[in-house]
Structure 1
């Protein structure tokens, strides 16, 4: 049985960036502190990897934009941002229900992490 605290921590790991309290930081802290809780740890790990990948994509695109060769990548970044936002909402919903969730395209990274 998944407790309310477990669900809260799992949802927080997915949506903390919406509250302005830390992109990457909150899921990282939860991953480090909740290694023994498989439900919370898996959700936080998925959120950490997804958020890290989004930050890396954003950084690369913004660097290329500053070099004036990445202007055409801004729509791509907007699409990636929208997909990240939607999938994090789905992940939070699944966590509230007590279900597991795998972000698309990062399952192999999450398994090796």
Structure 2
């Protein structure tokens, strides 16, 4: 005896994207945009060293500072030091700083 088999069609729906309700409602869980550092100051503190400083940015966990030679350094403080060639302080000095958290960084502020 032969049995007749019915065809079955399965429709696969796209996976759901889970979004916290607070984000949909514009709640406090939304990622806060960091503002760029202000109050920038750079000063020559030795024949071959610059000190760069700026005001604290709310929400920032660290800052990234770049010098004119292209070297970047991260610091949790609002001060950074940049070395320069002995007797030639204009050859390398602080260029910009940006505030960062675990997810994103602000725009750059130039010294």
TM-score, with normalisation over the residues of structure 1?
Answer: 0.28
Normalized per residue, the structure richer in strand is: 2
TM-score, with normalisation over the residues of structure 2?
Answer: 0.28
Computing the radius of gyration from Cα coordinates, the structure with the larger value is 2
**Greater relative CO, 1 or 2 (CA 8 Å, sep 6+):** 1
Normalized per residue, the structure richer in helix is: 1
